[in-house]
Structure 1
Amino acid sequence: MQIEGMTCASCVGHVERRLNKMPGVTAVVNLATERAKLTLTEDHTNQELEGAVTAAGYAGTVTRRRSSHDDDAHPAATTSPHRSVLSENDAVLPGGAGDHARAGGDAGDHSHASGEDAGHAQGGGEHADHDPLSGHSHAGHGGGAVADTSDPSARRQADLKRRFLVAAVLTVPVMVLSMAPPLQFPGWQWLVTALTLPVVVWAGLPFHKAAFNAARHGSSTMDTLVSLGTISATAWSLWALLFGGAGEIGMRMEMSLWPRAASEHGAHPELYFEVAAVVITFLLLGRWLESRSRRAAGDALRALAQMQPAEATKIVRAGSITREVRVPLAEIRVGDEFRVEPGEKIATDGTVTGGRSAVDASLLTGESVPVEVGPGDSVTGATLNTSGSLIVRATRVGEDTTLAQIGHLVEEAQVGKAPVQRIADQISAVFVPVVLVIAVITFVLWMVLGGTTQQAFTAAIAVLIIACP
């Protein structure tokens, strides 16, 4: 499944718990790749699975299903009998469209926009599978287009960059004026207010929306801390500016380690505009860099997907008549023969039945010197034919190919979780509620021990801000 809207380990925990509550479902969610691998021992439709993700407050799309029917038809598959696996591994097979052509063109693995259970899909219709990493749709038997699931990631990255750059430009003068009293000219606080509000409201909108969405579904995430902390700091500062006397022309704000009491001579409520602006700006920078790293996490698989040729020259024999036809890779079956001209990539794994050539197999071996092959030699899909013309009989197609297995291994490595990551996910599930409770306790203790509302609020906001990721 492709999962959208996750921003932290808490989000991963919410999605996993929601999916694992479904009977017969075991889910592993990966934040970096924004994908989930589900193992089903009971039957669930796409709508049920996607609805569970939606109920957790996120968007989920089933990108590929592989059922026990497919395993029976394709013994090379590794799925246990009587299980259905929904996996990002299957969704990014470098074999591309060839995945649909296995075993004489049965239903194979299909992604159904209608949400019907792929385990009961019948062949012969129109199907289109989508590679969420490469961003290309691969037609099985003449299917239509599927939305590019990798495009939203690129849009999010561009949006985060734009918000960060605007926030950075506005935050620098806010920080300088707030932290350097000699530079605080008459009316400086009003300029700081005007510069801060766009940062909190517009630049910080992704955090506020995520926090609201989580709250709407009865949960909390790291965005909850960010949103609460920055909104509280801004709201207090606006109150201090408009009603607390901090808006007086000529007012200066001195830094202090201990929260000042409003009863002190000449004291006024503190302004925390710089806190809200700086927190949002730095977190936007972090989220932008994180988005770039997530995008890079799929580069290896995108490169693998692009190595496989989209078409092959199939040799069709009808009695004594032999002709060569350019066909999509989806139409190559095990046992079919296809021609590979010099400079072309070999369409799929096979055995040479005619011709001699030198094949560049550096994809697998790293050896830059081409290897001579002739009749009876095995060749690997996506390797480059450098010289002579070859006739190859396909022995493995789709996800059974060597290149597809490499993709499986890379994707398994990405979706797997180290023990320390599982611990972090467990901690994050309770981290946010604990921080909120500590902030409330801090406020209450200050009030009970004789502090002013300003001091209590300052300390409580400090707890929220310091806990921001």
Structure 2
Amino acid sequence: SKTISKCYVQVTGMTCASCVANIERNLRREDGIHSILVALMAGKAEVRYNPAVIHPAAIAELIRELGFGATVMENCGEGDGILELVVRGMTCASCVHKIESTLMKTSGVLYCSVALATNKAHIKYDPEAIGPRDVIQVIKDLGFTTSLVKKDRSASHLDHKQEIRQWKRSFVVSLVFCIPVMGLMIYMMVMDSQLSDAHAHHNMSSEEMEALHSSMVLEYQILPGLSVMNFLSFLLCVPVQVFGGWHFYIQASRALRHNTANMDVLVVLATSIAFLYSFIILLVAMAERARVNPVTFFDTPPMLFVFISLGRWLEHVAKGKTSEALARLISLQATEATIVTLGPDNVLLSEEQVDVELVQRGDIVKVVPGGKFPVDGRVIEGHSMVDESLITGEAMPVTKKPGNTVIAGSINQNGSLLISATHVGADTTLSQIVKLVEEAQTSKAPIQQFADKLSGYFVPFIVAVSVVTLFAWIIIGFVDFEIVEKYFLGYNKSISAAEVIIRFAFQASITVLCIACPCSLGLA
């Protein structure tokens, strides 16, 4: 266990449990990775790895290769022992060597790496022996200027606004073109129903029925084999297939590129097969100058994209609300602290504004009225009322006097206080609460792990079932055509038996794919 290190990676682009299973399954196969836990809501992966074999940047690259966004989250869960600095004034390799050799000789510094190209220094140190400001001062004494690498405190990785906009746009585009398609489909169903009633009551012959059916406005042929209905359906389907399904195609291609299959692959397969099959039989009918209009599935892609993109939109809205509490917790943390130097009898000698990450245990911190406490500490001078509702939930402010403890993130109300820092960085109460919430989201129940594992095999299984359905109905149809006739009601009697069998088999096969798309396991 001594050789095992832990890092956190911010992961973007995950949409469902299948994405989580995809990342976990692929990374567990890599050498040097001991374990991985991915939190869908927190957009975060906790990876335990062997630093002698693999490093965090390589882990993030492996996740990016799977088609997701990935960034190593520095200082997340590592305590105060890591420092990322920007160093200015370096001109050559000797400057790098000078900084590294001096820091490595400094008591408490465990590791140091300086990059000339990026002007960055990565330092590991023992917080009990040396503090971050001491490390910065050592570099400054060598004649270089240095500053802390600014970290993202906005919890932007918990923000789902971009995904919400993206899926809302996809839904609206699909809906705009889906409504006319549904209107055409309902109209045709009503007209067919009326024709069936006329056939039943007036004893019309099949030839008279066909003539009456052909006289309908939507069945009128613009060109031989191309009816108004099929032409309008095609025109309405193309924009949905291109614009409404754009994000589905991108995510499906990423998945297929890495030999995995997620729900997007299933949606793309169902809609693409329905569209291409309809387009091809339409071209064949036009080439043959057919008098009977072929049955097409141009209504399938718009309706499927509408429901799936609506589901994705609502899913990201829900995820955004779930992650909002964690984002608010993170935003409660102070970003800066005022460190003071005291003389005899607590006389104020100097003040310095520093980043909250540079506060060390034992520092004297000044907190003015209306300011947030940057760290946990003990009051050494001053009297005030403090709002600690973020921890206690109590709206009434609490009196603070010398000797009382204060909590990071709570708000000082009416008097200046001097506090001695007792818990800093990742050890503060607020940081621990944030860590516990994130760990709670990262941990999984055994049944959830089983469901994630199952969802990884779900898509290939559905595709296999669809292919089996296609060939099974083709075989059944050619062996006993009456079975197909029994289930394929209302087919056009003028087309050949072989065409009827193939159309019904395709319809059954596409139905399997379409029904599986919004299934409960995939959505969960």
Common topology (TM > 0.5) = yes
Aligned to 1:362: 389
Q: Which structure is richer in relative contact order (CA contacts within 8 A, separation 6 or more)?
A: 1
Aligned to 2:177: 170
Q: Secondary structure at the match of 1:50?
A: helix
Moved more, 335-344 or 56-65: 56-65
Aligned to 1:274: 299
How high is the TM-score relative to the length of structure 1? 0.78
Q: For residues 423-463 of structure 1, what are the alpha-carbon distances to aligned partners after superposition, in whole Å with 9 as ceiling and x for unaligned?
A: 21111111111111111111111111125211111111111
* Alpha-carbon distance, 1:388 to partner: 2.2
* Alpha-carbon distance, 1:324 to partner: 2.6
Alpha carbons 1:9, 1:428 under 8 Å: kept? yes
Aligned to 1:6: 14
Aligned to 2:398: 371
2:325 to 300, 309, 312: 300
* Alpha-carbon distance, 1:126 to partner: 5.3
Alpha carbons 2:111, 2:123 under 8 Å: kept? no
2:234 paired with 1:227:
no
CA distance change for structure 1 residues 462 and 331 in 2, over 3 Å: closer, same or farther?
same
Alpha carbons 1:360, 1:368 under 8 Å: kept? yes
Aligned to 2:69: 59
Separation of aligned partners in 2, 1:417 and 1:117: 36
Separation of aligned partners in 1, 2:396 and 2:284: 78
How high is the TM-score relative to the length of structure 2? 0.70
2:369 paired with 1:342:
yes
Moved more, 170-179 or 300-309: 300-309
Aligned to 2:162: 155
Q: Secondary structure at the match of 2:299?
A: helix
Moved more, 228-237 or 17-26: 17-26
Q: Secondary structure at the match of 1:273?
A: coil
| Matched letter for residue 404 of structure 1 | S
Question: Alignment RMSD, CA only?
Answer: 3.3
Unaligned runs of 5+ in 2: 1-8, 83-106, 126-131, 137-145, 192-215, 219-227, 479-500, 519-524
Structure with greater Cα Rg: 2
Q: Secondary structure at the match of 1:2?
A: strand
Moved more, 172-181 or 432-441: 172-181
Aligned to 2:238: 197
Separation of aligned partners in 1, 2:67 and 2:153: 21
CA distance change for structure 1 residues 275 and 248 in 2, over 3 Å: closer, same or farther?
farther
Separation of aligned partners in 2, 1:324 and 1:120: 27
Separation of aligned partners in 2, 1:321 and 1:378: 21
Alpha carbons 2:252, 2:262 under 8 Å: kept? yes
Separation of aligned partners in 2, 1:105 and 1:350: 24
Alpha carbons 1:189, 1:247 under 8 Å: kept? no
CA distance change for structure 1 residues 118 and 6 in 2, over 3 Å: closer, same or farther?
farther
* Alpha-carbon distance, 1:357 to partner: 1.4
Separation of aligned partners in 2, 1:35 and 1:378: 33
Separation of aligned partners in 1, 2:419 and 2:468: 73
Q: Secondary structure at the match of 1:381?
A: coil
Separation of aligned partners in 2, 1:318 and 1:24: 52
Aligned to 2:337: 312
Aligned to 1:328: 355
| Matched letter for residue 462 of structure 1 | T
* Alpha-carbon distance, 1:214 to partner: 1.4
Separation of aligned partners in 2, 1:199 and 1:107: 58
Moved more, 36-45 or 200-209: 36-45
Written as runs of structure 1 = structure 2, the 5 A alignment for 1:1-80 is 1-22=9-30, 23-43=32-52, 44-64=54-74
* Alpha-carbon distance, 1:130 to partner: 3.3
2:277 paired with 1:236:
yes
* Alpha-carbon distance, 1:132 to partner: 7.1
* Alpha-carbon distance, 1:129 to partner: 5.2
Separation of aligned partners in 2, 1:415 and 1:171: 39
CA distance change for structure 1 residues 306 and 246 in 2, over 3 Å: closer, same or farther?
farther
| Matched letter for residue 305 of structure 1 | I
CA distance change for structure 1 residues 191 and 67 in 2, over 3 Å: closer, same or farther?
closer
CA distance change for structure 1 residues 119 and 323 in 2, over 3 Å: closer, same or farther?
closer
| Matched letter for residue 14 of structure 2 | M
Alpha carbons 1:65, 1:109 under 8 Å: kept? no
Q: Secondary structure at the match of 1:391?
A: strand
Q: Secondary structure at the match of 2:48?
A: strand
| Matched letter for residue 391 of structure 1 | L
Separation of aligned partners in 1, 2:502 and 2:16: 33
* Alpha-carbon distance, 1:246 to partner: 12
Alpha carbons 1:335, 1:394 under 8 Å: kept? yes
* Alpha-carbon distance, 1:155 to partner: 2.2
Aligned to 2:515: 466
Separation of aligned partners in 2, 1:154 and 1:465: 28
CA distance change for structure 1 residues 400 and 424 in 2, over 3 Å: closer, same or farther?
same
CA distance change for structure 1 residues 120 and 351 in 2, over 3 Å: closer, same or farther?
closer
Alpha carbons 2:33, 2:47 under 8 Å: kept? no
Unaligned runs of 5+ in 1: 75-103, 136-148, 252-265
CA distance change for structure 1 residues 190 and 408 in 2, over 3 Å: closer, same or farther?
same
Alpha carbons 1:15, 1:56 under 8 Å: kept? yes
Alpha carbons 1:25, 1:41 under 8 Å: kept? yes
2:438 to 403, 411, 414: 411
| Matched letter for residue 188 of structure 1 | M
Alpha carbons 2:158, 2:327 under 8 Å: kept? no
Alpha carbons 1:24, 1:42 under 8 Å: kept? no
| Matched letter for residue 414 of structure 2 | S
Q: For residues 165-210 of structure 1, what are the alpha-carbon distances to aligned partners after superposition, in whole Å with 9 as ceiling and x for unaligned?
A: 1211111111121233157743133222111111111110111121
Q: For residues 386-419 of structure 1, what are the alpha-carbon distances to aligned partners after superposition, in whole Å with 9 as ceiling and x for unaligned?
A: 2222111111111100000110111112112233
Aligned to 2:3: none
Separation of aligned partners in 2, 1:248 and 1:21: 56
